[in-house]
Amino acid sequence: MKWNSMTHNIRGLNDLESIAKEQCFINSFRPKADIVMLQEHKLRGKNLETLGHRLMLGCASWFLETILGERS
């Protein structure tokens, strides 16, 4: 089975306008992309969980929180 994936660096998804723009961008790749990976979102907890439901309506979503590193 062949899978098509897309990865996208995103930032600033704290407002609804940015989320709407990202939703349009992701939907422009449907149904071509089977897997969409979003990086550098800086969201955690409930904000991260609800992001997938807002961005990819009707799709399954999984989330991994970032592991914050130590700064020297």
pLDDT in tens, 41-66: 777 777 777 777 777 777 777 777 76
Query: Of 32, 33, 52, 30, nearest to 41 (Cα)?
Result: 52
pTM score over 0.85:
no
pLDDT(23) > 80: yes
Dist. CA 64–CA 44, nearest whole Å: 9
CB-based burial label for 13 (10 Å; 0-12, 13-18, 19+): buried
Between 31 and 3, the higher pLDDT residue: 3
Residue 55: which H helix or E strand, with range? helix 45-55
Six token digits for residue 57: 């309506």
